[in-house]
Amino acid sequence: DAGITQSPRHKVTETGTPVTLRCHQTENHRYMYWYRQDPGHGLRLIHYSYGVKDTDKGEVSDGYSVSRSKTEDFLLTLESATSSQTSVYFCAISETDRGPPRPDGYTFGSGTRLTVV
Amino acid sequence: GQQLNQSPQSMFIQEGEDVSMNCTSSSIFNTWLWYKQDPGEGPVLLIALYKAGELTSNGRLTAQFGITRKDSFLNISASIPSDVGIYFCAGHTYNNNDMRFGAGTRLTVKP
């Protein structure tokens, strides 16, 4: 419906294991983002992408990597999950206005709740 | 980085009451935005404000972009049960495409 889906919706994993979260869009938007949401912190940017194979770090990128091999998919990988990465992860896409992303054009996915035990 | 201070953290109100929440920052923003998040869902944009002093309404919601560009408020009039959720402010700056979010205000409306 909104053109953005996240998978899985819930995941429990053990400390030290790798985890990959997927964000898929059908809107053909150039910009895609990964955020984490924690109580008392709101949403904090992990990484973002401005095109296929073009990514950059956000505010809290340590311990995370991303890849974008196709316009429609943006993957977030935790190479070795830690308990501090227990969080709700949101993907977002944004429309652009002749180049830069429009701040009022963000659409968020429904989130992935990740628990690291 | 730029920090947004959103208050209050939570509110418990009676149906029909008006609600006010605000966001302040030590830095200026080009755009202020207000989002609502329902349980199990991502944030959804309610109102976007583009210039200092701007006052914008969306139904029972009214938001203002502070004249110093460092603050914004959101008012909800005559609250109803479906207003329950978490409300987030966000500030955006164009020069580095930076979007920052407040920690949220959790609203509970008692019928």
Residue A100's pLDDT is: 81
* Sole residue written with tokens 């909104």: A2
pLDDT averaged over consecutive 10-residue blocks of chain B (111 residues)?
86 97 95 96 96 96 96 98 97 87 96 89
Task: Count the neighbouring beta carbons within 10 Å of the beta carbon of residue B82.
Answer: 8
Residues 68-87 of B with CB under 8 A from A: none
Residue A96's pLDDT is: 81
Q: How far apart are CA B62 and CA B55, in angstroms?
A: 7
- Stretch (H or E) spanning A37: strand A31-38
* Sole residue written with tokens 């990465």: A85
Residues from chain B contacting residue A100 (CB–CB below 8 Å): 94, 97
Q: How far apart are CA A61 and CA A65, in angstroms?
A: 8
Q: Provide the pairing of β-strand A42-51 with B105-110.
A: unpaired
Q: How far apart are CA B54 and CA B39, in angstroms?
A: 30
Instruction: Please judge whether A42 and B104 are an interchain contact, meaning their C-beta atoms are less than 8 angstroms apart.
Output: yes
For B42, counting Cβ atoms within 10 Å of its Cβ (0-12 exposed, 13-18 middle, 19+ buried), the class is buried
Q: How far is B74 from chain A (nearest CA, A)?
A: 16
Q: For each of chain A's 117 residues, which pLDDT tens digit applies?
A: 559 999 999 999 999 999 999 999 999 999 999 999 998 888 999 999 999 999 999 999 999 999 999 999 999 999 999 999 999 999 999 988 667 888 998 999 999 999 999
Instruction: Please judge whether B41 and A92 are an interchain contact, meaning their C-beta atoms are less than 8 angstroms apart.
Output: no
pLDDT one-digit tens code per residue, A72-91: 999 999 999 999 999 999 99
Residue B95's pLDDT is: 79
